[in-house]
Copies of this chain bind each other. A is one copy, B any other.
Amino acid sequence: MSTSLINGASATVIPISDRAFQYGDGVFETLRIVNGRATLWEQHRRRLLAGCRFLQIAVDEISLAQEFQQLLAGNAPNGIAKILISRGSGGRGYQPPAQEAPQRILQFHPWPDNLDLPAGQGIRARLCKHPLSRNPALTRYKHLCRLDQVIASAELNGDIREGVMQIDSGQVIEGTRSNLFLVVEGRLTTPALTEAGIHGVMREYLLQQFASAGVTVDERAVTVSELQNAQELFFCNSVFGVWPVTELELGKQVVRYTIGPRALEAGSYVEDAFHKQN
């Protein structure tokens, strides 16, 4: 069963006046809970607080940390936790209020079996039609305005587990709920997030792990036609970890990939993050 806390108290509703509801005025994080502990907690915490600072939302960090422990203590050992910080109610239309009362909304969802892939099995994916919004000022923050991802997700279905999103110039950026890596001409590559997209926690973690292992990752603009010639393609996020792609629909064309050494290496780093570091 899913449970929720608002500012530490069990709750299921928020006021209509809440600015997250009215304007998407806030930030969030989604974390994988393994054996009662949050994977990559420090990285999630850092991004959440950076977003609050950017938006000038004065979140109470100490209460947040306590309430997060309270959430984990009161739920199953494995699942998904979501932290949502809203600016709260008030203000004149878009303009934030002088006296803010930010809301800390913490939710726990039991682990959904369908996120774990059978060993060695990849997924089918699709190039989405809906373009990502471009705004270089926002790529470091996981804010609540996620309509692009909702629209693109509606292009998927049970069989097509993830989608590749591009900006309207045809540059490939990320998945609908993940970042992506590919191997092009033998080089591990990930789209640069200077124009659009979100700097994902798992992406940053994998970049660090590959760097520590002496593997160079090219961060640069990636085109759709490079997807056609790639040797490997995989998505990553901090909940499902790494999903290698075995089939990608590009319009009427289907591109096939094998699950290669870089995806396997990324998968082993993810296992470390999920288990050994706990």
Nearest B residue to A144 via CB reads B24
Cα(A13)–Cα(B96), bound, Å: 20
A231 touches B (CB below 8 Å): no
CA distance A207 to B258 in the complex (A): 55
Q: Which listed segment binds B: A131-139, A185-193, A241-249?
A: A131-139
Q: Which A residues, 1 to 31, have Cβ-Cβ distances below 8 Å to chain B?
A: 4, 6, 11-25, 28
**Within the complex, which residue of B25, B28, B55, B133 is in contact with A134, where a contact is CB–CB below 8 Å?**
B133
Tell me, rounded to whole Å, the shortest Cβ–Cβ distance linking A18 to chain B.
7
- A13-B16, A168-B137 as given contacts; A150 in contact with B21, CB under 8 Å: no
> In residues 50-102 of chain A, which contact B (Cβ within 8 Å)?
55-56, 84, 86-87, 92-96
Say which residue of B12, B94, B146 sits within 8 Å of A176 (CB atoms): B94
Q: How far is the CB of A146 from chain B (nearest CB, A)?
A: 4
When A11-B16, A20-B21, A95-B156 are in contact, do A148 and B135 touch as well, CB less than 8 Å?
yes
Q: Which of B22, B135, B147, B168 contacts A136 (CB 8 A)?
A: B168
Which one of B21, B112, B133 lies within 8 Å of A21 (CB-CB)? Answer: B21
Q: Is A154 an interface residue (CB 8 A)?
A: yes
13 contacts between A and B (CB under 8 A): A12-B16, A14-B21, A22-B144, A25-B146, A55-B151, A87-B150, A92-B112, A94-B149, A94-B150, A137-B168, A138-B147, A143-B147, A145-B145
A residues with CB within 8 A of B: 4, 6, 11-25, 28, 55-56, 84, 86-87, 92-96, 105, 107, 112, 130-138, 143-154, 156, 168, 176-177
